[in-house]
Structure 1
């Protein structure tokens, strides 16, 4: 979300989710990004998954209000997208397609207003899938809804609703998703001039009559080093250390173990992102 831009539906509860889940990857990743002065960025990444590795090469070119993205992986899959901003004031459009497997091209539109946003997407095939979302409110309170409809099945794929209440030192969010089956509530609180953040998240799935409570937080040791911890009532404990050892070059180490099952092997992840 850009500075000063009213949030989309996907932004409701986003900050809390980033604290608890972002970069908690338990794989080995190596990423190198290079940029040129004319707006071209090339990114090469390799991910080690158990006994095999996968990789991809991505290119992004930006010119004025347009951005073209192309990604090719080791399975010869190609994903491309074209993003245009401010064709008309406050409107953003995204067109994307994946090859060689037949995946319908998709067109997305996002409209931003001072106190509202509207988003829509459609798959460009004979039986399209439509997705729409909308938010409205004030700088402190955001209310949003989201829905999807599959014309081939003549049925809704999703209908969700959410609300977020923001204060200078906290953010409270509530989301009802998965056609009313899952409720997610989160509370985020900033401490120590936002260098330390605490989060509490509660999830309840009505069809399974079960819930998950997760507590966590992050602390910026300095401008270059970040530590994150989380613990849930299922017995999972996660820790993350992230350090920017040179501008835009970041080393991330993550670990997780189940303290209720000592026979389960801990999970470890290592990511190195370099920008020469």
Structure 2
């Protein structure tokens, strides 16, 4: 993306990642096997309650083209083909699932130093059309997104947002749910030397007049260990500890407790990611 604005989906992403990324309350295992020949393999497995779900995906790179194929435990096959630099500053992505013959989709991304435009169209007789656009630069960005269901000739979404980002600070304001929800998010680096960050997210519903908020923080204990914590107004408290026990291999422990549910059992989760 260079010095230009990021796509619309990145507005508020920095705070969202701090507050939600890597929190997991199941048993999860990820094995990544990169290859110098351009072929990579990733196996993922999760135990959710008494059920086990998983998938195996491969990635092959050649020139400007990347092909991803994923097979899951439900025998579904997902394929994605990415072509970079189709035209200057433009990438194209074609994806489809088997056996869902209506899942085909074509995405086109145009990333300029003053604008980021992303479009998506379903490859079926009554496609879903989506378009998002952001103008500005790496620091200040203003944008919006819209979705149209051609089958019913109705809008599936229309949202707008603005963000301001520096190296140690980021704030975003977005209007969601077709103008019915306002979300504000904020993340601040307290100390670059200690790796401590604080984040907050507040959501107001114009329909119900309800307000929701969540506060969180992350702290780098040492170059190999990171801890996070968060608290929301519904009484849920969560903590996370992530350790890089060998290069690029992580073990993550997560826990969440609902302080308003007296008899509730705290949720516990563990995730192991291996990369030789």
TM-score by length of 2: 0.96
Q: Give 1:5 shift.
A: 4.7
How many Å apart are 1:78 and its aligned residue? 0.5
Q: TM-score with structure 1 length normalisation?
A: 0.96
| 1:17 aligned onto 2:31 | no
TM-fit CA distance, 1:204: 1.5
Equivalent runs, 1:17-36 vs 2, <5 Å: 17-36=16-35
User: Could you tell me how far apart the structure 2 residues matched to 1:47 and 1:5 are?
Assistant: 37
Structure 1 residues 220-269: Cα deviation after superposition (integer angstroms, max 9, x where no partner): 11221111110011101011111111111110111111111121111111
Q: C-alpha separation between the residues in 1 aligned to 2:75 and 2:205?
A: 38
**Distance (Å, rounded) in 2 between the aligned partners of 1:5 and 1:37:** 31
1:74 paired residue number: 73
- Say whether the 8 Å CA contact 2:142–2:162 is kept in structure 1: yes
Establish whether residue 223 from structure 1 lines up as the match of residue 223 from structure 2: yes
SS at match of 1:111: strand
Q: Aligned equivalents of 1:274 and 1:166: distance in 2?
A: 33
Q: Does 1:261 align with 2:261?
A: yes
* Cα separation, 2, equivalents of 1:62 and 1:138: 30
- Tell me if the contact between 2:6 and 2:138 (Cα under 8 Å) persists in the aligned partners: no
Inter-partner Cα distance in structure 1 for 2:102 and 2:271: 30
TM superposition shift of 1:3:
4.8
Aligned counterpart, 1:53 = 52
Q: Deviations over 1:194-225 (max 9, x none)?
A: 71110011011222321211111111112211
**Alpha-carbon distance between aligned partners in 2 of 1:56 and 1:207, rounded to the nearest angstrom:** 40
Distance 1:230 1:150, change over 3 A: same
What is aligned with 1:89? 88
Q: How many residues align?
A: 275
> Tell me, what secondary structure is at the counterpart of 1:37?
coil
CA distance in 2, matches of 1:131, 1:230: 33
Extract unaligned runs of 5+ from structure 2.
Answer: none
Aligned position for 2:113:
114
Inter-partner Cα distance in structure 2 for 1:85 and 1:168:
28
3-state DSSP of counterpart to 2:74: coil
Tell me the SS of whatever aligns to 1:229: strand
| Residue number in structure 2 paired with 1:246 | 246
Which secondary structure state, in structure 2, belongs to the residue aligned with residue 15 of structure 1?
helix
The gaps in structure 1 that reach 5 residues or longer are none
With 110-119 and 160-169 compared, the bigger mean Cα shift is at 160-169
**2:159 corresponds to:** 160
Q: 1:168 deviation in Å?
A: 3.6
Q: Which runs of 4+ in 1 moved over 6 A?
A: none
The yes-or-no answer on 1:149 pairing with 2:148 is yes
Query: Could you tell me whether the CA contact under 8 Å between 2:229 and 2:240 is conserved in 1?
Result: yes
State how far apart, in whole Å, the 1-side matches of 2:124 and 2:100 are.
14
Secondary structure at 1:23 match in 2: coil
Distance in 2 of aligned mates of 1:255 and 1:268: 5
